[in-house]
Amino acid sequence: MDSPPPLNVNRYRNRRCGDLRTEDVGGTVQLAGWIAAKRDHGGLLFVDLRDPNGVVAGSVVQLVVHPDQAPFPVLDGLRLESVVSVGGRVVARPPETVNPKLATGEVEVAVETAEPLSSADVLPFPVERDTEVGEENRLRYRYLDLRRGPLAERIARRAQLATLVRIHLAARGFLEVQTPVLTASSPEGARDFLVPSSQYPGEFYALPQAPQQFKQLLMVGGIERYFQIAPCFRDEASRADRSPGEFYQIDLEMAFATQDDVFHEVELLMTAITEGLSSKSTSAPFPRLTFTEAIDRFGSDKPDLRLGLELCDVTADLGGRTELPMFADAPGAGHVIRALRVPGGAGRSRKWFDGFADEARKAGVVGTWLQLDPTGTKGPLARRLTEEEVGVVVQAAAAEPGDAILVAVGPRMKASLLLGDQRRRHGRELGLADPDRLAFVWVVDFPMYEQDEATGAWDFAHNPFSMPQGGLEALRDKDPGDVLAYQYDLVCNGVELSSGAVRNHRPDIMEAAFAIAGYGPDRIRSSFPALWNAFHYGPPPHAGIAPGFDRILMVLEDQANIREVIAFPLNQSARDLLMSAPAPVTDAQLRDIHLAVVPPAP
C-alpha cells in the first residue's frame, strides 16, 4: 500500500515497528507484533519484531534484552510467530551492527517490559519471505502464507485495483449496480452451482455464472452505463488463469453503444489501471486483429504480441508444386502448409524434433522440420525438397543460420494451433517476452457458428446472444460458416482478459440465429424467459464486456497462476484446504432442504 493505515494508539502500542529512526533515539515506545526471529548472542537476546504492516512495508525492528532483565524469560520462552507487546527505549545500534537492508537498521529497542498476547505452536513451515513452501501447505495455512509478505502485498494491490476501477468508471458515468447472487439456472456453457430451497421442495436457485442477463435487463430498464465488480460461479475444472468455483470480473454494459464505444471505454480503463498500479508500458488505442488473422499469424486467438515470431504460409508456393506428396496433395485435400521459425533451434536434439512430430500426430497434422546448421541444411525436409524449395521455406520464415523451422501440414486450424503452441512455448523459453511491456490487443470478428465434423450440424461458436454482422440478412443469405459476430476478446501478454459482444437485442434476429443452431423459439422462451419478454418492450441496442478482475492482477503481478492473487483460493482440484470444503452435511440439514444424497454409480 502507498501508506500504512491509521495507528490505533492503545496499551498494546503507540508506534509502528518500521517507523523508528535515529531521531527517535532516547525516546520510549510501546510496540506490538509477531516474533519474526530470535538470536542468542552470548547472553544477549535479539528479537526481530514484525507488526501487521510489516508484510507490506517491511515494518520490522530489532529488540535487545539482557538476561538479568524481567522480559528475558518471557521473550526467550516464546516460539516464533507468537504475539507480544513490548515497551522500551530506542537506542542507536553500534556502527558494526547497522543493518542497511532494514529501514530501522540504525536503531534497536532495549526492552524493559514484555507482555505475551498469544503463543504459537511449532510452525508447519518457516514464515520467511524467501522460503520455498509447497502449495498445499500454503493453502492449508493461508493465514501464515499471508504473513510471509508477497501474498499480502498482492492482496493490498488487489484492493487498490478495486478502488481505482470504481473511481474511474464512476467518473466516466457508469453506475455501480449489484445484481442477484441467488437466481435461476440457465444454460450458459458451464455447470451451475445449485442452491436448494427449503421453502419450495424440489426447486433450486443457481449461483450466477455471470450477471449477463441482469445487466442486459438494466439496459432495457434505462440504466445507460452499468458496472459491477461481480462474483461469478462456475462448477468447472481449474485452469492456471481461472480459479475453480468462483472468480470476479469487471462487468460493463452500455446502452446505445457500438463495438468502438466499448473499446474506447475499456482502453481508457486499462490505461488508468496500468498507470495507477504498474510501471509497465502500454499505449492506446490497442491494435486489432481479426480472429482469422490471429490464427493465421500467431496460431492462437489470444496471441502474445511481445514474442514477435509469426507463422508463415507456403501453401501457395509449394502446394501442388513439389514432388513431396504431403505438400503436393495439400491444396486438393483442403490443407495448408504452415511454418514457424525457432531462433537458435538448429542445435536442438533429435529427441526435441521427434517430440514435435509426436505432438503433430496427436493434433491430427503432419509435423516436419528444417535445421539451418552452419555446416549445411539438415532435417527431413532437407532430404525431400529441392534446394530452391528449401530456399522458399527459409525466406518465408525469415530464418537465419542456426535457426530451425517447424512445418505443419494439415487442416488450417489444427496446423495453426499446433505451431501457435510451439511459438508460445519457445518464445518464452528464449526470453522474447519483454516483462516490462503490456501488449494489449483486440481480437475481433469471431465466427458466429462452428460445424460439427461428424454430424455436419451447426452450433454457436461462442456467445449465442451476440449480434451477427449483417443482421437478419446475413443469417438468411450467407452460409453459416461465413457469418461473423460482433464478438471481441481483449488479450494481454497471451492471456485472455475478457470477452464481450454487441448484444442481439431483436427477437426476430434472435429467432433466426437460434434456428440455424437447431433451436426453436420455444427453447429461447423457456431458457431465457425474462430476457425474451423484455426484448418485446423496446430494448435499446447495447454492448458490453467483462474483463477478469483476477486475471488483470495476475498479468500486472507477473504471476503464472491466478491463485497467487486471491486471498483464499480453492486448489486446482476445486477444494478449500483451509476450511475443508466441500464436505458432507448432516442428515438433518438434508431433510431441511428435502434432499437425499445419491452415491455415484460404481
Domains and CATH numbers, the chain: 17-118 (2.40.50.140), 152-288+440-589 (3.30.930.10), 309-429 (3.30.1360.30)
| Contacting residues for 599 by C-beta, under 8 A, at least 6 apart | none
DSSP-derived secondary structure for 171-195: HTTPEE-PPPSSB----SSSPPEEE
Per-residue pLDDT tens digits for 252-281: 999 999 999 999 999 999 999 999 999 998
Cell of 428: 518464452
**Crossing angle of the two packed helices 412-429 and 350-363, in degrees rounded to 10:** 150
Residue 236 has pLDDT above 90, yes or no: no
Q: Stretch 338-358: mean pLDDT, rounded?
A: 95
What whole-number distance in Å separates Cα of residue 269 and Cα of residue 284? 11
Largest CA distance in the chain: 94
Contact 59, 17 (CB under 8 A): yes
Facing residues of 113 across strands?
87
- Interatomic CA distance for residues 601 and 558, integer angstroms: 43
Grid coordinates given for 161: 485495483
- Cβ atoms of residues 403 and 342 within 8 Å: yes
| pLDDT at 42 > cutoff 80 | no
Q: Which amino acid is present at 319?
A: G
pLDDT by residue (tens digit) across 566-589? 999 999 899 999 999 999 999 999
- pLDDT (0 to 100) of residue 110: 97
Q: Which three cell numbers stand for residue 241?
A: 488463469
What single letter denotes the amino acid at residue 350? R
Residues 53/18, Cβ–Cβ less than 8 Å: yes
Average pLDDT for 213-223: 97
pLDDT number for residue 1:
45
Mean residue pLDDT across the chain: 93
**Cell numbers 527459409 correspond to what residue?**
394
Give the contacts of 449 (CB within 8 A, at least 6 positions apart). 458, 459, 460, 461, 480, 481, 483, 516, 517
pLDDT value, residue 2: 56
**Is the model's pTM score more than 0.85?**
yes
Cα–Cα dist 146/590, whole Å: 36
- Which amino acid, one-letter code, is at 40? D
Phi, psi of 168, deg, nearest 5: -65, -50
